[in-house]
Structure 1
């Protein structure tokens, strides 16, 4: 167990803390849950940076890091869907969660057939993640109906659009492996 892996594990431990804080019947629950989510985002960046800088990448960390990220994002979006109770937020949130499931399955399958590199993280994915994290922090920090919550929803739509775009790029990169009969008949 090394520091990058401990940081990744800390994100998973933060999930129940985040949920409890979010639902506390106190005025500060929104801002504190937003800070917890933001801290999780920082640990996501930091664990990857430290793993590369200290040459401490491990198979366990490579497995757990994306799991921790997807769990935190899915849980945050789930509580936000419930809190806002509006299609305006539910639509981009379900697009983002659905894409994460599709791409996780695609990466797992591609790794199984030895083609994992063809579905590596892209630059678009990094922009998408940044927009998504900023949107979720904003939505957590500001209650439904607040003007800044609408700004965060707009940012979430941008993230959902980038999510779909990056998914198309991943599927395009994997297409020949998904449909080898098309490659053979061409």
Structure 2
């Protein structure tokens, strides 16, 4: 495992997951718990963008980093969604759709890579839209409290449902891209 700045940022994202979850177990007022979880998640989300950019900029891409980055993303989003469901801020259906899609598409990508057809399920624009909607919705739902004139919870709820719809759309897109390979192998 190459120990470089991009990989350290990815590890930092994983280390922040217990803080996002654990904030709601601290003996603090709810608004402070919300703030701690939101800040931790937002820092993790920013490192998600920054570690990939930095790896490319510094020429420090690695197979380990390419493996660990999406794992960290999925762990972070899944942990936050479970917390949001527990708090009653997100519907279980949304969490099941998003987490289920992540597992299914990760498995599909692994299988397609094994077949030598990984390019057919490379990250798409709709996948990036889905991620953007998630990364905006989750901090809003973690924070939850309204800001002056801004109904944070309502915006977060709309965005998380949009993320769920984009999740289904992107899953259909990736399955459609993989289908010719699946069909050609008689599965």
Do they superpose with TM above 0.5? yes
Cα gap change, 1:181/1:105 in structure 2, threshold over 3 Å: closer, same or farther? closer
- Map 1:113-132 onto structure 2 (within 5 A): 113-132=115-134
Count of residues in correspondence between the two structures: 180
Tell me: CA distance 1:180–1:117, structure 2 relative to 1, closer, same or farther (3 Å): same
- Deviation of 1:123 (Å): 1.0
1:25 corresponds to which residue? Answer: 27
SS at match of 1:179: helix
Residue 184 of structure 2 is aligned to residue 164 of structure 1: no
For residue 105 of structure 1, the aligned residue among 104, 107, 115 is 107
Q: How does 1:8-157 map to 2 (within 5 A)?
A: 8-27=10-29, 28-84=32-88, 89-142=91-144, 147-157=151-161
Counterparts of 1:98 and 1:171, CA distance in 2:
14
- For 2:185 and 2:71, the matched residues in 1 are separated by 32
Unaligned runs of 5+ in 1: none
CA deviation after TM superposition for structure 1 residue 25, in Å? 3.1
**Cα offset for 1:125?**
0.9
Once the two structures are superposed, residues 24-83 of structure 1 have per-residue CA deviations (whole angstroms, 9 ceiling, x without a partner) of: 231201011011001000000000000111110001100000000000000000011111
What's the Cα RMSD here?
1.9
Q: List 4+ stretches of structure 1 deviating above 2 A.
A: none
- Deviating more after overlay: 14-23 vs 121-130: 14-23
Q: Shift of residue 181 of structure 1?
A: 5.5
1:57 is paired with a residue whose SS is coil
- Structure 2, unmatched stretches of 5+, are none
SS in 2 for 1:84: coil
TM-score between the two structures when normalised by the length of structure 2:
0.90
